[in-house]
Amino acid sequence: MKEYIEERAIAIANYIIDHNATVRQTARRFGISKSTVHTEVIK
């Protein structure tokens, strides 16, 4: 996995945990789609 993708996946996961955020809130925060949030977290 590319390093920047791994870093983004970690940032997304940390945001969800730290803010008890939904997928929709996380997508809005990172400027990505809900599908991308799912893809990044599942990897």
Within 13 A of 9's CA, how many CA atoms are on the CB side? 12
Q: What is the mean pLDDT of residues 1-16?
A: 90
Q: What is the pTM of this model?
A: 0.84
For residue 11, give every residue at least 6 positions away whose Cβ sits within 8 Å of its Cβ, in sequence order, or none.
Answer: 30
Q: Residue 20: what pLDDT? A: 97
Q: Residue 14: what pLDDT? A: 97
Q: Residue 15: what pLDDT? A: 97
Q: Residue 5: what pLDDT? A: 85
Q: What is the pLDDT of residues 9-34, one digit of tens each?
A: 999 999 999 999 999 999 999 999 99
